[in-house]
Amino acid sequence: MEGYLNKAAAIIDLHERGFSEDFKIVGDKILWIQRKLFFTAKNLSLVEVYRFIERDGSELLILGATLLPHFATGILMWQFKHPTDRSPAIIFDKIKELMADVPDRTRHVNRLEVCKFHLQ
């Protein structure tokens, strides 16, 4: 399994591999920042997930995603104390589903937990 030692490395690598768009969770919608368009979470297909656990216990997920029907690939970042905090349930369900399919998906690096998941 490939992982990253820091968030910047994960973002840079995703950008270098074509994840060039930026997405943001706004309420129960996904905002495609460059196009200023809103979509429902059902239009989001997760490709990769990187999980960073901070010292204060908060988590940051950096999601490599494809937004359908436009096939725009980009990054969605989601920071939270608990996975159900301020997130559309469908996003949380997609992440749980993706994580459940990948065995042995965690490794520890200097108090920072880095995970990478692939949706095949």
The pLDDT tens digits along the chain (120 residues) read 366 778 899 999 999 999 999 999 887 789 999 999 999 888 888 888 888 887 888 888 888 999 988 999 999 998 877 655 655 666 777 777 666 655 443 333 222 333 333 333
Total Cβ atoms within 10 A of residue 95: 19
pLDDT value of residue 58: 83
Which token pair is 28?
């129960």
pLDDT value of residue 78: 84
In the block, residue with structure tokens 């988590």: 59
Tell me what percent of the residues of the chain surpass a pLDDT of 90. 26
d(C-alpha 117, C-alpha 47), whole Å: 8
Peptide bond into 69 cis (omega under 30): yes
- pTM beyond 0.95, yes or no: no
What are the structural domain ranges in the chain? 7-118
Q: Which residues contact 71 (CB under 8 A, 6 or more apart)?
A: none
Identity at 70, one-letter amino acid code: H
Specify the DSSP class assigned to residue 55.
T
